[in-house]
Structure 1
Amino acid sequence: MNEKAPENFQARFETSQGDFEIEFTRNLSPKAVDRVYQQISHNFYNGIVFYRVVPNFVAQFGHMDSTATVNNWDRYKVEDEPVKGSNLKGAISYARSGQNSRGNHLFINLKDNKRLDTVFYNKVKGFPPLGKVTKGMEVVEKLYSGYGNETMEVYDSLAVKRKEFLKKFPKLDSIKKVYILK
């Protein structure tokens, strides 16, 4: 949990729709970029689904396996940091539910969402971007979005019941593998 990320690094996301790449920039949100670097280095996002894809808004993913999160990653939340970048199309940010709650769930902006830079959500201002999609944005835009926000209500109630969740939403796209490019 103390490993620092390089100032800039790229990661490839191999998905059920194809591959895309994200360049992460540490000075945008140092603690959050360190966290995502650690998670990618430990295969945290391999084999998970894009559980929320809202057309013309965001594509969101994160871990719903409580043994992978509660026992390990959830104990260490990322402290809040100021918004230094902007949630433009292709930018990636951690989702959060309040103060110092960033940790396991990321979203990619499907359009310019500048309001996410300044919106107050549970006493916290904005969602600091960590980087941006540099290759394959067309892949991100192809992720299955037919469920929209419907998945969020069910996700909250079934959070650790992955099989039930996937049975209810069988068309969700997935991340096969994520790795850092050398």
Structure 2
Amino acid sequence: KEEQVKESQRYTQRKKPERRPPDIWHHHHHYYIIMQGEQALVSCGTSTGPVVMHFYRDWSPHGYDRAVELYEKGFFDHSHFFRAVPNFLVQFGITYSQDEELRSFMQDTINDDPQLDPPIPFKLGTMAFAGSGPDSRTTQMFIAYGEIPSLGSNPWETPFGVVEDGIDNVIRFHSYGDMAPWGQGPNPHQIMSQGSGYVETGFPLLDKFETCTVERITPSETETEL
């Protein structure tokens, strides 16, 4: 079981006064972090409906910068949520673009970020990059499907944002189970090498992104309930 968790990890607010905190945080968290860094709202269409994500640079500077750049450049457009595991997470981040710059991101690692003290907890809707070891984050990220005690213990698992709206659409993403050997889901390496045809032929029910837009929020003191 520990092996499965380890491999899984590999693929593993309140703005005064105009923005409300994400509902999932408002109901389940009990303390506040004051943030003064840049933030971004990312609005995406998906095959199950719209999803709005809220990213905070103060939480994970390197992770935030990479995530915002990827969304701004359309890296995720029309790509699949290839690994959806109920009560664990949904993972994505393999582009179908043939653009050299976008594809190079999948090999371009970023440095880990230190955990905040206290750390941002993994709850339903928390977002972080998947990794396979120190300083291994590239483009694959995940959304937690609940409180996951095993997440957050590795240096690359620093949350950079939350799903602010549309979490019901995220939960509805189709699942073929985990990837082999634990489930019948697609092989990420084959997605990289064979592209969308591999997924659409073998896993036609998988949900996917449409397109996304990014709104950067000017730095100002904000409260986020955790």
Matching residue's letter, 2:206: L
Query: Residue 128 and residue 10 in structure 1: after superposition, are their counterparts in 2 closer, same or farther (change >3 A)?
Result: same
**Which residue does the alignment assign to 1:155?**
188
Q: Does 1:27 align with 2:58?
A: yes
**Which residue does the alignment assign to 2:136?**
101
**Alignment gaps of 5+ in structure 1:** 1-5
Q: Does 1:83 align with 2:111?
A: no
Aligned length: 172
1:44 is aligned, of 75, 78, 83, to 75
Counterparts of residues 63-82 of structure 1 (less than 5 Å): 63-65=94-96, 67-68=98-99, 71-82=103-114
Question: Does the 8 Å CA contact 1:9/1:23 hold for their aligned counterparts?
Answer: yes
1:136 is aligned, of 154, 166, 181, to 166
The alignment-based identity, stated in percent, is 24
Give, in angstroms, the shift of residue 152 of structure 1.
Answer: 5.6
**Which residue does the alignment assign to 1:174?**
208
Give the distance between the partners of 2:134 and 2:200, measured in 1 at CA: 30
Query: Residue 151 and residue 28 in structure 1: after superposition, are their counterparts in 2 closer, same or farther (change >3 A)?
Result: farther
More strand by share: 1
TM-score norm. by structure 2 comes to 0.69
**Which residue does the alignment assign to 2:20?**
none
Structure with the greater alpha carbon radius of gyration: 2
Over aligned residue pairs, what C-alpha RMSD do you find? 2.2
**Which residue does the alignment assign to 1:12?**
43
**Alignment gaps of 5+ in structure 2:** 1-36, 217-226
Report the 3-state secondary structure (helix = DSSP H, G, I; strand = E; otherwise coil) of the residue aligned with 2:71.
Answer: helix
**Which residue does the alignment assign to 1:3?**
none
Choose 52-61 or 108-117, whichever is displaced more: 108-117
Query: Residue 80 and residue 15 in structure 1: after superposition, are their counterparts in 2 closer, same or farther (change >3 A)?
Result: same
Question: Does the 8 Å CA contact 2:186/2:199 hold for their aligned counterparts?
Answer: no
Give, in angstroms, the shift of residue 82 of structure 1.
Answer: 2.0
Give the distance between the partners of 1:86 and 1:23, measured in 2 at CA: 15
* Structure 1 stretches of 4+ moved >2 Å: 64-72, 146-159
Report the 3-state secondary structure (helix = DSSP H, G, I; strand = E; otherwise coil) of the residue aligned with 1:96.
Answer: coil
Give, in angstroms, the shift of residue 165 of structure 1.
Answer: 3.0
Query: Residue 159 and residue 72 in structure 1: after superposition, are their counterparts in 2 closer, same or farther (change >3 A)?
Result: closer
Give the distance between the partners of 1:92 and 1:10, measured in 2 at CA: 13
CA deviations over 1:63-103 (Å, ceiling 9, x no partner): 15484478531343110112332221100000011221111
Give the distance between the partners of 2:186 and 2:208, measured in 1 at CA: 19
Give the distance between the partners of 2:212 and 2:85, measured in 1 at CA: 22
Give, in angstroms, the shift of residue 115 of structure 1.
Answer: 2.3
Query: Residue 90 and residue 12 in structure 1: after superposition, are their counterparts in 2 closer, same or farther (change >3 A)?
Result: same
Give the distance between the partners of 2:46 and 2:170, measured in 1 at CA: 9
**Which residue does the alignment assign to 2:18?**
none
Query: Residue 37 and residue 64 in structure 1: after superposition, are their counterparts in 2 closer, same or farther (change >3 A)?
Result: closer
Query: Residue 53 and residue 155 in structure 1: after superposition, are their counterparts in 2 closer, same or farther (change >3 A)?
Result: same
TM-score norm. by structure 1 comes to 0.84
Query: Residue 147 and residue 166 in structure 1: after superposition, are their counterparts in 2 closer, same or farther (change >3 A)?
Result: farther
Question: Does the 8 Å CA contact 2:94/2:191 hold for their aligned counterparts?
Answer: no
Report the 3-state secondary structure (helix = DSSP H, G, I; strand = E; otherwise coil) of the residue aligned with 2:177.
Answer: coil
